[in-house]
Amino acid sequence: MSKITTLYRRRLSKERGTVKKDWGGKISVALIYPNYYQVGMSNLGFQVVHGILNDNPAIISERVFLPEEEELSIYRKTGQLLLSLESQRPLPTFDLLAFSLSFENDYPNILTILDLGRIPLMGRERGEDYPLIIAGGITTFMNPEPLANFIDCFLLGEGEVILKEFFQIYLDLRLSAVKREEALRVLAERVEGVYCPSLYNVAYHENGSIASFEPSIPSIPSKVKAVKQVPFKGPLHRSRILTPNTEFSDTILVELNRGCSIGCRFCAAGHVYRPPRVIAEEEILTSLKEIVTRDTRVGLISPSASNFPWIERVTSYILDSGGDFTVSSLRADSLTKGLVENLRGSSQKTLTIAPETGSDRLRRVINKQLTTQQIIEAIILIARTGFFHLKLYFMIGLPTETGGDIRAIAGLVKSIRHHLIKESKGRKRIGRIRVSINCFVPKPSTPFQWFPMDTVNSLKEKQRLLKRALSGEGGIGISFDVPKWAYIQSLLSMGDRRVGQMLLTAHRNNGDWRQTFRSSDINPDFFVYRAKGLNDRLPWDFIDHGIQKSFLQKEYSLALAAEESPRCAPDSCTRCGVCSLVT
Q: Which residues bind ligand SF4 (CB under 6 A)?
A: 274-275, 568-570, 573-576, 578-579
Question: Which has the closest alpha carbon to 210: 423, 522, 454?
Answer: 522
* Residue of minimal Cβ distance to ligand SF4: 568
Least CB distance to ligand SF4 at residue 567 (A): 8
Q: Which is nearer to ligand SF4, 176 or 574 (CB)?
A: 574
- Residue 10: partners with Cβ closer than 8 Å, 6 or more residues away: none
Give dist(CA 447, CA 485) in Å, integer: 23
Q: Which is nearer to ligand SF4, 340 or 568 (CB)?
A: 568
> 3-state SS of the chain: helix, strand, coil percent to 5?
40, 15, 40
Q: Which is nearer to ligand SF4, 239 or 302 (CB)?
A: 302
Q: Which is nearer to ligand SF4, 138 or 465 (CB)?
A: 138
Question: Which has the closest alpha carbon to 163: 285, 308, 55?
Answer: 55
Least CB distance to ligand SF4 at residue 408 (A): 29
Least CB distance to ligand SF4 at residue 583 (A): 9
Least CB distance to ligand SF4 at residue 468 (A): 41
Q: Which is nearer to ligand SF4, 510 or 572 (CB)?
A: 572
In angstroms, the first-to-last Cα distance of the chain is 56
Give dist(CA 406, CA 358) in Å, integer: 7
Give dist(CA 50, CA 175) in Å, integer: 23
Q: Which is nearer to ligand SF4, 350 or 583 (CB)?
A: 583
Least CB distance to ligand SF4 at residue 355 (A): 23
Give dist(CA 525, CA 63) in Å, integer: 36
Taking the alpha carbons of 57, 237, 239, 281 in that order, is the dihedral positive or negative?
negative
Least CB distance to ligand SF4 at residue 156 (A): 18
Taking the alpha carbons of 484, 490, 492, 497 in that order, is the dihedral positive or negative?
negative
Q: Which is nearer to ligand SF4, 147 or 581 (CB)?
A: 581
Q: Which is nearer to ligand SF4, 309 or 533 (CB)?
A: 309
Q: Which helix (DSSP H) or strand (DSSP E) does residue 461 occupy?
A: helix 456-470
Q: Coil, strand or helix: which one is 447? A: helix
Question: Which has the closest alpha carbon to 167: 55, 66, 15?
Answer: 55
Least CB distance to ligand SF4 at residue 561 (A): 19
Least CB distance to ligand SF4 at residue 393 (A): 23
Q: Which is nearer to ligand SF4, 386 or 577 (CB)?
A: 577
Least CB distance to ligand SF4 at residue 262 (A): 10
CB atoms within 10 A of CB 379: 26
Question: Which has the closest alpha carbon to 394: 339, 433, 340?
Answer: 433
- Residue 570: partners with Cβ closer than 8 Å, 6 or more residues away: 275, 276, 579, 583
